[in-house]
């Protein structure tokens, strides 16, 4: 897997994923324990997040308002 400079990796550990989402690691951990938050992988007891799952989580959090629909055209 080749990663371009300034591009996030395809798979991230908890601290990196939390930073990508703009959350603290403890918030992301709590969300995972509570069954909320983005999908994750557990490999050998370690938790990882795929970039595609983090982006899907962000997209699912978009709230549409009447104003935003009107601006979208």
Residue 3 lies in a domain: no
Measure the CA–CA gap between 22 and 66, rounded to whole angstroms: 26
Nearest to 50 by CA among 20, 5, 23: 20
Residue 55 lies in a domain: yes
pTM of the model: 0.78
Cα–Cα distances (Å) from 4 to 7, 8, 10, 71, in that order, read 5, 8, 11, 34
Nearest to 17 by CA among 2, 34, 33, 39: 39
Q: Report the first-to-last Cα separation within the chain, whole angstroms.
A: 39
What's the domain count of the chain?
A: 1
Can you give the residue range of the structural domain that contains 18? 11-72
Question: Residue 69's pLDDT is what?
Answer: 67
pLDDT tens string 43-58: 999 999 999 999 999 9
């Amino acid at each position: 897997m080749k990663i371009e400079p300034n591009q996030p990796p395809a798979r991230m550990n908890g601290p990196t994923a939390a930073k990508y989402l703009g959350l603290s690691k403890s918030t992301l951990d709590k969300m995972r324990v509570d069954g909320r938050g983005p999908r994750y992988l557990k490999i050998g007891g370690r938790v990882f997040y795929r970039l595609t799952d983090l982006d899907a989580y962000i997209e699912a959090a978009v709230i549409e308002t009447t104003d935003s629909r009107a601006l979208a055209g």
